[in-house]
Amino acid sequence: MRPCFSSPEIRKPNQDNLTVMVTGVGMAKGLLIARSFWLKGYKVIGADFESDGTWVIGRFSHAIAKFYSLKHPTEFGGNTNSYTEQLLDIIEQERVALWISCSGVSSAEEDGMAKDEIEKRSSCHAVQFSGDQVKTLHRKDSFSQLALEIGLAGPKATTVTTVEEAMEFLNHTPTSAKYLAKSVILNDLSRTSQILLPLTTREDTKSYLDTLEISSSHPWLLQQYVNGTEFMTHSFVQNGELKAFIACESKDVLMHYRPMPVDDPLFQSMLKYTSVFLSRLSYSTTFTGHLGFDFLVEQSWDETGSKAKLYPIECNPRVQTNVLLFEDEMHLVDLYLSTLGNAPTKRLERAVDIYSQPSKTGYYWIGHDLVTLCFVPFVNVLLRKLSVLEFLYGLREFLEHVLFWKDGTFCIYDPFPWWWLYHGYWPSIFLRSILRRSAWSQVNVSTGKVFDC
């Protein structure tokens, strides 16, 4: 039975007396891991950023014994040492033995650097890649270069630091080739851009590139465009060995998660890529943490598999929301605990490879579906921009999710984070946007992220 739909009486007392800290509990992925440890009987300390003063959902979780509000590294002027110190203060005060980092995109590198210092100065163990490892994998340009070096290259790509460099590269590409410009550093404005370069004329291309503010301090990656379906994977790696693996279809802002069948040839191809990637890393024996890839498949997969070509386009060295798809989070907790040097082997009651047991259930967020499948389509029907039949199709999908899927935040025994998400968190976010007159293009209900225009 799934933990989020189980009675709290199934919580098991543990004999280890370990305290676990989970950061990122304001997101569904962090909350899932915190709840799973709590169900195993462990004391869970939660922490997350509340930079704008809006309380996150993890603050209200029954599974979290104590919540700490963290200052984002940017609030320290980019001083990673100050960010690390606040984590160390919590670890020492709460006697934390294990830290599970559920980094967001904006703090992935800082959490990696914090891991190095925390394990050096305390007895706490971190399930997190090191700072150098995260930096290499997290940044689009360095990951592209690493993949090329180990013989697992993705689409053709080059890094540019000036508009002139970009123009020179585009001028020497085949006429049939098109490229996407991707910011190497975090940038909301470019993450969903699908403008294909070069444009019709040199003047149009240069005018567009001028808007990107390309510089040595803000490099951009020109990556060859692949017209295909996007997929994402998530895995847990311990000392370079793949211990857990999941895959699903993806998109820019993914709010519906359904696991791919394990016997799907495409699933097996992505699993093989991940395994080979790990085997070719020079530092694989010290490589412990969460690893995911974004892939593009150029054509639809057929029974022979001969028509599909897999292109790795990004690497995500952190926990991703599709961690929800693991059928057995309890065993995932055992994997985390096994990273401790003194962890009893009896915790691992069966084989550690759990990639063969994905959930058959899809995940959704009811707040997102109410807006995108019900409210907006209904308004469009009134405005005669959508037919009644199309509206009914969307309504049928909404009812299917409500009846047969699972909300990614809701738990019967821990309902208050879900309640706060829609009655406190998002109303506060939208009210602040109105008062500040700040424009946004998309929101991600599962992570609480707002994407600026």
Sign (positive/negative) of CA torsion 46, 49, 53, 55? Answer: negative
Statement: the pTM of the whole predicted model exceeds 0.85 = yes
What local confidence, expressed as pLDDT, does residue 346 receive? 43
> Could you tell me if 373 and 398 are in contact, meaning their C-beta atoms sit under 8 angstroms apart?
yes
Of the pLDDT bands very low, low, confident and very high (cuts 50, 70, 90), residue 452 is confident
If asked whether residues 381 and 429 sit together in one domain, one would say yes
DSSP 422: I
If asked whether residues 16 and 92 sit together in one domain, one would say yes
Question: Would you state the structure tokens that stand for residue 106, as one six-digit string?
Answer: 């904006």
> Could you tell me if 301 and 284 are in contact, meaning their C-beta atoms sit under 8 angstroms apart?
no
Would you say residue 418 lies in a domain? yes
If asked whether residues 169 and 111 sit together in one domain, one would say no
Would you say residue 203 lies in a domain? yes
Would you say residue 14 lies in a domain? yes
d(CA 448, CA 25): 11
Which of 125-155 are b and which e, b meaning 16 or more Cβ less than 10 Å from the residue's Cβ? bbbbbbbebbbbbbbbbbbbebbeeeebebb
Residue 431: Cβ within 10 Å count: 11
pLDDT tens sequence across 60-97: 999 999 999 999 998 888 788 999 999 999 999 999 99
If asked whether residues 198 and 111 sit together in one domain, one would say no
The CATH number of whichever domain residue 191 belongs to comes to 3.30.1490
What local confidence, expressed as pLDDT, does residue 349 receive? 44
pLDDT tens sequence across 170-189: 998 887 889 999 998 876 55
Would you say residue 138 lies in a domain? no
| Residue-number span of the structural domain to which 65 is assigned | 3-132
If asked whether residues 15 and 108 sit together in one domain, one would say yes
Of the pLDDT bands very low, low, confident and very high (cuts 50, 70, 90), residue 351 is very low
Would you say residue 236 lies in a domain? no
Would you say residue 416 lies in a domain? yes
> Could you tell me if 406 and 5 are in contact, meaning their C-beta atoms sit under 8 angstroms apart?
yes
Rg (CA), the chain: 22
Sequence-separated (6 or more) residues with CB below 8 Å from residue 133? 112, 283, 287, 289, 317
Residue 195 Cα to chain centre, angstroms: 24
The CATH number of whichever domain residue 114 belongs to comes to 3.40.50.20
If asked whether residues 8 and 124 sit together in one domain, one would say yes
Question: Would you state the structure tokens that stand for residue 295, as one six-digit string?
Answer: 């892939």
If asked whether residues 44 and 106 sit together in one domain, one would say yes
Number of domains in the chain: 3
Q: What is the helix, strand, coil percentage profile of the chain, to 5?
A: 40, 20, 40
